[in-house]
Amino acid sequence: MTRLRRLGAAVGAAMATAYGGAILVSTPVSASDHSVGGSHLAAVREKIHDPFAVVPAREVQRSALTGASAANPLDMLVIGGGATGSGVALDAVTRGLRVGLVEREDFSSGTSSRSTKLIHGGVRYLEKAVFKLDYGQLKLVFHALEERKQLIDNAPHLCHALPCMTPCFDWFEVVYYWMGLKMYDLVAGARLLHLSRYYSAKESVELFPTLAKEGKGRSLRGTVVYYDGQMNDSRLNVGLACTAALAGAAVLNHAEVVSLLKDEASERIIGARIRDNLTGKEFDTYAKVIVNAAGPFCDSVRKMADKSARDMISPSSGVHIILPDYYSPEGMGLIVPKTKDGRVVFMLPWLGRTVAGTTDSNTSITFLPEPHEDEIQFILDAISDYLNVKVRRTDVLSAWSGIRPLAMDPTAKNTESISRDHVVFEDHPGLVTITGGKWTTYRSMAEDAVNSAIKSGKLTPANGCITNNIRIVGGEGWDPVSFTILSQQYMRMKVTYRGKVVPGVMDTASAKHLSHAYGTLAERVAAIAQVSLYIFHTVYSSIFTGTFENVLLIDKFY
Domain ranges of the chain: 57-113+234-312+408-469, 118-230, 482-556
Angle of helix 2-10 relative to helix 549-557, nearest 10 degrees, comes to: 30
193 close to 229: Cβ distance less than 8 angstroms? yes
CB atoms within 10 A of CB 437: 27
Q: How many CA atoms lie within 13 A of 9 on its CB side?
A: 5
What is the Cα–Cα distance from 89 to 80, expressed in whole angstroms? 10
Q: So what's the pLDDT on residue 7?
A: 44
Write phi, then psi, for 313 (nearest 5 degrees).
-95, 130
Alpha helices in 34-134 (DSSP H): 40-48, 58-66, 83-93, 123-131
SS3 content of the chain, % helix, strand, coil (to 5): 40, 25, 35
User: Which class in CATH covers the domain with range 57-113+234-312+408-469?
Assistant: alpha beta
Q: So what's the pLDDT on residue 380?
A: 96
Give the contacts of 366 (CB within 8 A, at least 6 positions apart): 403
What is the Cα–Cα distance from 130 to 207, expressed in whole angstroms? 31
Q: So what's the pLDDT on residue 2?
A: 45
For CA atoms 110, 116, 121, 122, the dihedral sign is: negative
Q: So what's the pLDDT on residue 550?
A: 47
CB atoms within 10 A of CB 316: 18
Is the pTM here over 0.85, yes or no?
yes
Count Cβ atoms within 10 A of the Cβ of residue 393 and give its class: 0-12 exposed, 13-18 middle, 19 or more buried. Answer: exposed
Q: So what's the pLDDT on residue 464?
A: 96
Q: So what's the pLDDT on residue 553?
A: 41
Strands 74-79 and 99-102, sheet pairing: parallel
Q: So what's the pLDDT on residue 512?
A: 95
CB atoms within 10 A of CB 314: 17
What is the Cα–Cα distance from 386 to 234, expressed in whole angstroms? 29
Q: So what's the pLDDT on residue 10?
A: 45
Compute mean pLDDT per 10 residues along the chain, 558 residues long, and list them. Answer: 44 42 47 56 93 93 97 98 98 98 96 94 82 81 94 97 96 95 94 96 96 88 97 97 98 98 96 98 98 96 94 90 96 89 89 92 87 95 94 97 82 51 92 95 98 98 96 96 91 68 80 95 88 62 51 41
Give the contacts of 519 (CB within 8 A, at least 6 positions apart): 156, 157, 158, 473, 474, 475, 478, 482
